[in-house]
Amino acid sequence: MRRIELFDSTLRDGEQAPGFSMNLTEKLSMARVLAELGVDVIEAGFAACSQGDFASVKAVADELKGVTVASLCRCTEKDAEIAWNALKNAEKPLLHIFIATSDLHLETKLGMTREQVVERVAATVSYAKTLCPDIEFSAEDATRSDRNFLAKVLQTALSNGASVVNMADTVGIAQPDEIEDLVRFMKSELKSANPWKLSVHCHNDLGLATANTLAAIKAGADRVDVTVNGIGERAGNAAVEEVVMALKMRPEIYDADTGANPKMLVPASRKLVMLTGCKVQANKAVVGKNAFAHEAGIHQHGMMKDRRTYEIFHPEDVGATSERIILGKHSGRHALEDRISELGIGGLDKEQLDTVFEKFKLLAETKKTVGDRDIEAIVRSEVLGVPEIYRLDKYVINSGNILSNTCNIRICRKGETYLDGFAAGEGPIDAAYNAINDALKKDAKLLDYVIESVTGGADAQGAVSVKLSVGDKTVKGYGVSVNIFEASILAYLNALNALEE
């Protein structure tokens, strides 16, 4: 079967979508899981976009081996040079250069003629090739472009050193038969003296990203762009879990496969949720919590007879674990480490494992059993968070329907200085946040507050995610505790700690 390469854009296209931003530590943690999943290329960010993106691209490029690390670049020599400086220590660096090719984008966004675009592509790709041996060129809004002009631009990129040319269905307007026809056309039209690959980047605005990606593969595409859980701008991108399993399940149609490890699909999905706090819809294909749930009586009867009646693959095939070993206060460190490994959270050093085990034992004293989501919440809040500049020492909240809502709080700064705050508020959480601002002399404003139960039951942990604005900066925070007031305070402090990075 043909080997289809996976170009993963979770850390770039996915991460720039609202709600999915990650700090450097979180990006590195996610990149390690993507490498373990077996994607061929990790697009680590847009190095020229910001100092934070540059640092993230550089960190991923410096650490990861055996996988290509890419940075997106606009079609300018300056962007290519900045991206190269971030990537140059990578074992397998890739400069990913893009420019729009549709007349709509040329006229309204770029203010360029077709001839100017061709000249820009030739100049930038040839310059980038002097920096990096591997260049991918992408045509933005390719599916709304004149196909003959699109072919001319892609051929220009190939002739000037690109080894991969990519067509982006940027607004998700294309239909599967159109994508299939376009790929076949380009495979017959484009030529190069050197080996080259054709790729597609499909968005999900009409819910067709995966279908269009599979149509491209059927027509001969060599590489496809994907993201974990299908995250990305607007409605997202083609989901890696859907593409991988579709090829696995229907080899007679596609005669193609990827190098991905299917058993890492659910762990990668859970890791992303853990890092971003953005849940996957329950009925999400392959990785949703209902993907293997059977409630209808006729389905349950069939399942008891033969699982194949209503399951085309087993949960274990994609790394969905069942909590066979019950973890509680009598569980040991090895049992916890095994469960962490099963959940795909690996890569923790001894000090981090010590921290997780300590918090696990404390939680187990409060809860009868500690579930997978509890463990993920502990790792996210205690290990994958930002350095702890501000730490909660103690607090008292007064609240009731005949009392004013007030909060007294003491915060420790860098383990040395204790800062006291007091404030009232519209409710107990508002009072606590006002008290934190009073103690730290901050003018932070709450933009978003989300509270959810980590697991079911009366003893469930509460997880709180917040987004704050402080001046011209926006930061997010996460906190978890069986006490929802404490979880809210921890989330707010976590966001302010992120501000100090």
CATH number at residue 241: 3.20.20.70
Q: Which residues pair with 100 in a beta bridge?
A: 140
**Are 344 and 417 found together in one domain?**
no
**Are 486 and 369 found together in one domain?**
no
Contact in structure between 327 and 370 (CB atoms under 8 Å): yes
Full 3-state SS string of 164-201: EEEEEECCCCCCHHHHHHHHHHHHHHCCCCCCCEEEEE
**DSSP output for 86-124:** HHTT-SSEEEEEEEE-SHHHIIIII---HHHHHHHHHHH
Element (H, E) at 281: none
Domain residues for the domain of 269 are 2-276
Question: Rounded to an integer, what distance in angstroms lies between the CA atom of residue 490 and that of residue 473?
Answer: 19
In a domain, 124, yes or no: yes
For helices 209-219 and 240-249, angle between their N-to-C axes, nearest 10 degrees: 50
**Are 459 and 492 found together in one domain?**
yes
Rg over alpha carbons for the chain, rounded to the nearest Å, is: 25
- The token duo for 329 is 């206060």
**How many helices (H) and strands (E) are present in the chain, helices listed first?**
17, 16
Q: Write the CB contacts of 344 (distance below 8 Å, at least 6 apart in sequence).
A: 33, 36, 264, 266, 267, 268, 270, 271, 319
In a domain, 282, yes or no: no
What are the contacts of 76-82 at 24+ separation with CB within 8 A? 76/120, 76/124, 77/123, 77/124, 77/127, 77/128, 78/48, 79/47, 79/48, 80/124, 80/127, 80/128, 80/131, 80/132, 81/131, 82/47, 82/48, 82/54
In a domain, 399, yes or no: yes
Model pLDDT, residue 301:
46
Q: Write the CB contacts of 211 (distance below 8 Å, at least 6 apart in sequence).
A: 176
In a domain, 283, yes or no: no
Contact in structure between 417 and 440 (CB atoms under 8 Å): no
In a domain, 284, yes or no: no
The total domain count for the chain is 4
First to last CA, the chain: 47
**Are 366 and 437 found together in one domain?**
no
Contact in structure between 411 and 392 (CB atoms under 8 Å): yes
Give CA separation, 488 vs 413, 414, 491, 493, in Å: 18, 21, 5, 9
Q: How far is C-alpha 182 from the chain's CA centre?
A: 29
- Residuewise pLDDT in 10s, the chain (501 residues): 999 999 999 999 998 888 788 888 889 999 999 999 999 999 999 999 999 899 999 999 999 999 999 999 999 999 999 999 999 999 999 999 999 999 999 999 999 999 999 999 999 999 999 999 999 999 999 999 999 999 999 999 999 999 999 999 999 999 999 999 999 999 999 999 999 999 999 999 999 999 999 999 999 999 999 999 999 999 999 999 999 999 999 999 999 999 999 999 999 998 898 888 788 998 999 999 888 764 444 444 454 566 677 788 888 899 886 555 567 777 788 888 887 877 777 667 788 888 888 888 887 887 667 777 778 777 876 666 677 889 999 999 999 988 899 999 999 998 889 999 999 999 999 999 999 999 999 999 999 998 887 766 666 778 888 989 998 888 888 888 889 999 999 999 989 988 876
**Are 193 and 249 found together in one domain?**
yes
Question: Rounded to an integer, what distance in angstroms lies between the CA atom of residue 192 and that of residue 163?
Answer: 9
Last residue of a domain, one of 276, 307, 340: 276
- Residue 229 has what DSSP assignment? G
In a domain, 187, yes or no: yes
**Are 354 and 210 found together in one domain?**
no
Question: Rounded to an integer, what distance in angstroms lies between the CA atom of residue 138 and that of residue 157?
Answer: 9
Q: Output phi, psi for 155, to 5 deg.
A: -65, -35
**Are 12 and 143 found together in one domain?**
yes
**Are 405 and 420 found together in one domain?**
yes
**Are 261 and 314 found together in one domain?**
no
**Are 72 and 217 found together in one domain?**
yes
- The token duo for 273 is 């949720």
**Are 166 and 52 found together in one domain?**
yes
Q: How far is C-alpha 56 from the chain's CA centre?
A: 13
Question: Rounded to an integer, what distance in angstroms lies between the CA atom of residue 340 and that of residue 357?
Answer: 11
Q: Are strands 197-202 and 164-169 parallel, antiparallel or unpaired?
A: parallel
Query: What value, to the nearest 5°, has the Cα angle with vertex 488 and ends 483 and 493?
Result: 125
CA atoms within 13 A on the CB side of 415: 2
- The token duo for 132 is 């990096």
Give this prediction's pTM: 0.83
In a domain, 286, yes or no: no
**Are 208 and 309 found together in one domain?**
no
CA atoms within 13 A on the CB side of 62: 10
Contact in structure between 327 and 339 (CB atoms under 8 Å): yes
Q: State the CATH number of the domain containing residue 439.
A: 3.30.160.270
* Strand residues in 309-444 grouped as ranges (E): 390-400, 403-413, 417-425
